[in-house]
Amino acid sequence: MSMYNKKSIEDIDVKGKKCLVRCDFNVPMKDGVITSDKRIVGAMPTIKYLADHGAAVILCSHMGKPHNVFNEKLKLNKKEKAKIEALPAQEQEAATAEALEKAKKDVKKLSLLPVAKRISELLGKEVIMASDVIGADAKAKAAALKSGEVMLLENVRFHAEEEKNDPAFAKELASMAEIYVNDAFGTAHRAHASTAGVADYLPAVCGYLIEKEIGVMGKALENPQRPFVAILGGAKVSDKLKVINNLLAKVDTLIIGGGMAYTFLAAKGCGIGNSLYEGEQLEYCKDMLKKAEEKGVKLLLPVDTVVAPAFPNPIDAEIEIKNVSVDAIPENEMGLDIGEKTRELFAAEIATAKTVVWNGPMGVFENPTLAKGTVALAQALADSQCVSIVGGGDSAAACEQFGFADKITHISTGGGASLEFLEGLDLPGIACLNDR
Residue 117 bears catalytic tag = no
Choosing from 7, 236, 286, 407, the catalytic residue is: 236
Phi, psi (deg, nearest 5) at residue 306:
-95, 120
Beta-bridged to residue 128, according to DSSP, are 151
Choosing from 17, 39, 240, 343, the catalytic residue is: 39
Strand order in the sheet with 410-411: 298-300, 253-256, 228-232, 355-359, 387-390, 410-411
Which of 389, 351, 363, 356 is CA-nearest to residue 233? 363
Choosing from 64, 135, 416, 424, the catalytic residue is: 416
Choosing from 393, 414, 415, 429, the catalytic residue is: 393
**Which residues 6+ apart lie within 8 Å of 231 measured at CB?**
255, 256, 257, 346, 350, 356, 357, 358, 359, 360, 377
Listing DSSP states for 99-165 in one string gives HHHHHHHHHHTT-SHHHHHHHHHHHTSPPEEPSSSSSHHHHHHHHHPPTT-EEE---GGGSHHHHTT
Return the SS3 of 337: strand
Q: What is the CB neighbour count within 10 angstroms for residue 357? A: 28
Residue 269 bears catalytic tag = no
CB 232 within 8 A of CB 394: no
Residue 233 bears catalytic tag = no
Residue 157 bears catalytic tag = no
Residues tagged active-site: 39, 236, 393, 416
